[in-house]
């Protein structure tokens, strides 16, 4: 199964990545603890094959957030001031892939690696869609009502953002080809599952995700604090369904979409 040696190499690699990411402000201290836990399990138990998709998501998304010039001031009102990812944001993206790596050790089925890549493709598609879709001013629509919405509000989609999502799913899938011999049709299923997972994120963001109303600026936001105001009014959605829960479900849905493809065209 695995050796103590590979576990300690995995933990060391996870420690270096968490530490450097904290130092360059990709992560808060909590975010780096989460990254260490997830990284140590995935690198240690999964080895290089399972590490590549996770690393391509983590590095590309961190760089995208960091280089995002934030010239689009309208969007800045909706995004958290501190762009470093915290513990809950990291766990929202990494929990499903970590569980799949553990399940694969127990059952060793060929489809697990695809469920794994699909989940990471979904969270990467979501992150890339948000980053690229909010880069410049662009027409944004509510995914359910198709009415024009404020850019940066939950549940909004745009053409540029959708291209960003597709690119995010692509980078995870294509980087996986370095170590995994993916069949062409499965390659396609993974990419579609990733993009579909990011659409699930937008649909939940436009429906059941909790939204607050900032009393100072009057904007609808998904964070509890805004404009340094202590009192934020509940506006809509289910109170416990915050952005992290939505991201977790979106990551799971990426795997579920692939599993549906797998059951429909079972040739693995
Ligand atoms: Zn405000």
Q: 24 CA to middle of ligand 1, Å?
A: 28
Q: Is the pLDDT of residue 267 over 70?
A: no
CA of 233 to the centre of ligand 1 (A): 11
226-to-67, 215, 216, 232 alpha-carbon distances in Å: 23, 9, 8, 8
Whether 184 shows a pLDDT value over 80: the answer reads yes
Residue 221 parent element (H or E): strand 220-221
Contact 59, 212 (CB under 8 A): no
Q: How many CB atoms lie within 10 A of CB 215?
A: 13
Q: Could you list the residue range(s) of the whole structural domain that residue 115 is in?
A: 4-264
**Does the pLDDT of residue 3 top 90, yes or no?**
no
Q: What is the distance in A from the centroid of ligand 1 to the CA of 268?
A: 51
Burial of 123 by CB count in 10 Å (0-12 exposed, 13-18 middle, 19+ buried)?
buried
Domain count, the chain: 1
Overall average pLDDT of the 232-252 stretch: 94
Q: pLDDT value at position 143? A: 96
CA of 96 to the centre of ligand 1 (A): 33
How far, in Å, from the CA of 224 to the mean position of ligand 1?
10
Query: What is the CA(122)–ligand 1 centre distance, in A?
Result: 30
Q: At what angle do helices 184-206 and 159-176 cross, to 10 degrees?
A: 140
Mean per-residue pLDDT, 88-103: 97
| Alpha carbon of 222 to ligand 1 centroid (Å) | 11
Q: How far is the CA of 246 from the centre of ligand 1 (A)?
A: 22
Span from the CA of 244 to the centroid of ligand 1 (angstroms): 21
Cα 22 to middle of ligand 1, angstroms? 28
Contact between 202 and 210 (Cβ < 8 Å):
no
pLDDT given at position 1: 53
CA 86 – ligand 1 centroid, Å: 21
pLDDT score of 44: 95
Predicted confidence (pLDDT) at residue 229 exceeds the cutoff of 80:
no
DSSP 34-68: HHHHHHHHHHHHHHHHHHHHHHHHHHHHHHHHHH-
pLDDT of residue 23: 94
User: What is the value of pTM for the model shown?
Assistant: 0.93
pLDDT digits (tens, 9 = 90+) for 33-50: 999 999 999 999 999 999
**CB distance 141 to 156 below 8 Å:** yes
Distance 204 CA to ligand 1 centre (A): 22
| pLDDT, tens digit, 9 for 90 and up, residues 57-83 | 999 999 998 887 666 777 777 777 678
Render pLDDT for 8-31 as a digit per residue (tens, 0 to 9).
999 999 999 999 999 999 999 999
148 bridge partner residues: 141
Residue in 21, 43, 44, 45 with CA at minimum distance from that of residue 32: 21
pLDDT interval class at 167 (50, 70, 90): very high
Give distance in angstroms: CA of 123 to centre of ligand 1: 27
Measured on CA atoms in the order 17, 127, 64, 25, is the torsion positive or negative? negative
Assess contact for 101 and 42: CB atoms under 8 A: yes
DSSP tally for the chain: helices H, then strands E: 8, 5
Residue 58 Cα to ligand 1 midpoint, Å, equals 30
d(CA 73, ligand 1 centre) in Å: 13
Directed axis angle between helix 184-206 and helix 112-133, to 10°?
A: 50
Mean pLDDT value across the chain? 91
Tokens of 223: 């964070």
């Amino acid at each position: 199964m695995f050796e103590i040696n590979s576990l300690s190499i995995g933990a060391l690699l996870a420690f270096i990545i968490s530490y450097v990411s904290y130092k360059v402000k990709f992560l808060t201290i909590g975010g780096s603890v989460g990254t260490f836990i997830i990284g140590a399990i995935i690198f240690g138990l999964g080895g290089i094959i399972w590490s590549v998709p996770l690393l391509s998501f983590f590095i590309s998304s961190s760089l995208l957030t960091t280089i995002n010039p934030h010239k689009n001031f309208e969007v800045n009102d909706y995004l958290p001031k501190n762009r470093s990812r915290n513990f809950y944001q990291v766990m929202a993206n990494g929990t499903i892939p970590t569980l799949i790596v553990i399940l694969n050790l127990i059952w060793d089925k060929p489809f697990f690696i695809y469920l794994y890549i699909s989940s990471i493709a979904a969270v990467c598609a979501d992150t890339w869609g948000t980053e690229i879709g909010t880069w410049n001013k662009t027409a944004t629509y509510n995914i359910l009502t198709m009415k024009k919405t404020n850019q940066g509000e939950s549940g909004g989609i745009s053409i540029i953002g959708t291209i960003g999502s597709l690119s995010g799913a692509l980078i995870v899938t294509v980087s996986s080809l370095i170590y995994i011999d993916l069949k062409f049709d499965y390659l396609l299923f993974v990419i579609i599952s990733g993009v579909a997972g990011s659409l699930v994120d937008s649909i939940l963001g436009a429906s059941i995700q909790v939204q607050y109303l900032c009393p100072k600026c009057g904007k609808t936001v998904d964070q509890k604090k805004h404009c340094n105001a202590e009192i934020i009014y509940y506006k809509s959605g289910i109170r416990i369904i915050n952005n992290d829960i939505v991201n977790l479900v979106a990551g799971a849905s990426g795997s579920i979409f692939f599993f549906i493809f797998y059951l429909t065209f079972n040739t693995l």
